Structure 1
Amino acid sequence: MSDIPVIFIHGLWLHSSSWDPWVELFRENGYEPQNPGWPGDSPSVAESRADSGPIGGRGIEEITEHFAALIAELATAPVVIGHSFGGLVAQKLLGRKLAAAAIAIGPAQMKGVIRLPLAQLLGVLPIVSKPSNYRGTHIHSKNSFHSMFGNAIPVEESDALYDRYVIPAPGRPLFEAAVANFLPHSPTAVDVAADRGPLLIVGGDRDNAVPESSTRSSFGRYRKASTINEYKVFDDRGHSLIIDHGWREIADYTLSWLAKKNVGATAE
């Protein structure tokens, strides 16, 4: 087999191990996947919770450059798959022509997206209202995690996912996203007109962290692009869609989409 590399990029508050089931599935399907953490992440959830200091102050551009450096070490341009702010980073990398294809799942909004639903604003207000969070970190409580991530699943499952995957996250990306449309050179900007590989954006219709209307608005930024850009909404799914009991439906769809776009592991 000729293995195509895949890089999974997590978002705020989830450890890179949240992608472990996806990594196993993609490897079984002939890819060469990896799920590196963000700069400052510790190897485990427990270690990240015990010492969140190295995570604080990390911004979107630094995170993007971290993954760009990893890609530079590969012999072949990878598929990049990101969730939440990881989905924004995946689009930035694709726009820079560093990836063969990208899949952005519940991606944080890029510069130019105007519509910010009330649920999204209420979710981030407690963080961006405290200037100290710009250089520091924030971690959800089980209640706030269920409200923002796990609202479409039973609270017992949400709590179990919290225990397994949730870590502190830098506040800086949220501040950068909040003022993106007021800055000429925001780190949330994506080159939507680049001549590059295919893009799939995925939304969940019950997502409170990145509501479907926001995801759809991000997709709308590509309306004049000549490249392949597609959008898929999963009904009755929240922001936990990549880690909860229904993750396999999302993963299988992405594998099928990559195959249809001829971005798949091929026999030599």
Structure 2
Amino acid sequence: MSSSTIVFLTGAYVSHACWDQWQSFFQEKGYNTMAPPWPGKDADTETLRRRHPDKHLSAVTMDDVVNHYTSIIQKLPEKPILIGHSFGGLFTQVLLNRGYAAGAVAIHAVPPQGVFPYELNFLKSNLPTLGFFSSLDKTYLMPFKKWQFSFTNGMSLEQQKKGYEQLVIPESKRAARGGLTKAAYVDFSKPHPPLLLLAGTDDQCIPEHLCRRVHKSYRDRNSVTEYVVNKRNHFVLGLPGWQKDAQFIYNWLQTH
């Protein structure tokens, strides 16, 4: 893959600081990297929590986020490699489909429109942030108990608390709901640059079964669409040994 630029795309619920170590890893490999925050999230975790419930952030839609990333990408000197996690993995697929990437990696990604997420653990993890039973004008802050179930299952209480304190921020329900609309549209039959989809056997937020259904939806046989499953929960970016996943992705990028 010819691009020397990587744009990391952050998912819902957490700060873009989740990419700090990953940026350092890929910079040491010679890449130029960036992890732009969403609109309304350009601050540290503590500041964003103090704003909750945040009317400015609650107004942000998925289209706003994708358009924000698009404007950043269009200013770059080359098409970048996109690496996204969770909701950021959906943005990655949408932007790849629209022709804005030299290649892409979607890590435990929210599914594009048309792959309906009926898996029970997905619904338990994500229904509250869709805002069907609460005001869309108030942001959603994931409770610690939900964090334990959806992101950090299987980890020690100390690790769970540390991750929660460092990363969890308020979320826009409007943006989350956009994942069910045409904003999340991907043409699965369209040829595309290389795409790697990663899934985790222990992920309760984005279950492996759901990721597998997304992979099977891609239909262009001349495009590289690879699917890899590891024993991971949804906190894959911050798990002990995250370097192994980063190295795997680096090797994959060199291959393609």
| TM bin (shorter chain) | over 0.9
Q: Which residue of 1 aligns with 2:49?
A: 49
**Corresponding residue to 1:228 among 224, 228, 231:** 224
| Count of matched residue positions in the alignment of Structure 1 and Structure 2 | 253
Residues 22-58 of structure 1: CA deviation (Å, up to 9, x unaligned): 0000000010001110011132111111124232132
Q: Percent identity?
A: 29
Q: Which residue of 2 aligns with 1:146?
A: 148
Q: Which residue of 1 aligns with 2:247?
A: 252
TM-score of the aligned structures, taking structure 2 as reference length: 0.93
Residues 15-26 of structure 1 aligned to structure 2 (within 5 Å): 15-26=15-26
Please report how far the alpha carbon of residue 240 of structure 1 lies from its aligned counterpart in structure 2 after TM superposition. Answer: 0.2
Q: Which residue of 1 aligns with 2:79?
A: 77
Q: Which residue of 1 aligns with 2:192?
A: 196
Query: Is the Cα–Cα contact under 8 Å of residues 13 and 169 in structure 1 kept in the other structure?
Result: yes
Query: Is the Cα–Cα contact under 8 Å of residues 188 and 219 in structure 2 kept in the other structure?
Result: no
Separation of aligned partners in 2, 1:73 and 1:125: 35
**Corresponding residue to 1:114 among 110, 113, 116:** 116
Separation of aligned partners in 2, 1:222 and 1:152: 32
Q: Which residue of 2 aligns with 1:265?
A: none
Residues 147-194 of structure 1: CA deviation (Å, up to 9, x unaligned): 1000132222111111111111111233233x44xxxxx211112233
Separation of aligned partners in 2, 1:135 and 1:255: 40
Q: Which residue of 1 aligns with 2:204?
A: 208
Query: Is the Cα–Cα contact under 8 Å of residues 133 and 170 in structure 1 kept in the other structure?
Result: no
Q: What RMSD, in angstroms, separates the aligned Cα atoms of the two structures?
A: 1.7
Q: Which residue of 2 aligns with 1:29?
A: 29
Please report how far the alpha carbon of residue 133 of structure 1 lies from its aligned counterpart in structure 2 after TM superposition. Answer: 4.2
Query: Is the Cα–Cα contact under 8 Å of residues 191 and 220 in structure 2 kept in the other structure?
Result: no
Separation of aligned partners in 1, 2:136 and 2:245: 33
Separation of aligned partners in 2, 1:203 and 1:133: 32
Residues 106-185 of structure 1 aligned to structure 2 (within 5 Å): 106-128=108-130, 130-177=132-179, 179-180=180-181
The letter of the residue matching 1:96 is R
The letter of the residue matching 2:203 is D
The letter of the residue matching 2:74 is A
Please report how far the alpha carbon of residue 119 of structure 1 lies from its aligned counterpart in structure 2 after TM superposition. Answer: 1.0
Q: Which moved more, 1:150-159 or 1:14-23?
A: 150-159
Secondary structure of the residue aligned to 1:242 is helix
Change in CA separation of 1:193 and 1:246 when aligned onto 2, cut-off 3 Å = same
Change in CA separation of 1:197 and 1:129 when aligned onto 2, cut-off 3 Å = closer
Q: Does 1:187 align with 2:189?
A: no
TM-score of the aligned structures, taking structure 1 as reference length: 0.89
Separation of aligned partners in 2, 1:159 and 1:133: 28
Change in CA separation of 1:46 and 1:230 when aligned onto 2, cut-off 3 Å = same
Query: Is the Cα–Cα contact under 8 Å of residues 13 and 166 in structure 1 kept in the other structure?
Result: yes
**Corresponding residue to 1:65 among 60, 64, 67:** 67
Secondary structure of the residue aligned to 1:253 is helix
Query: Is the Cα–Cα contact under 8 Å of residues 57 and 135 in structure 1 kept in the other structure?
Result: yes
The letter of the residue matching 1:113 is V
Q: Does 1:240 align with 2:239?
A: no
Separation of aligned partners in 1, 2:114 and 2:36: 29
Change in CA separation of 1:99 and 1:145 when aligned onto 2, cut-off 3 Å = same
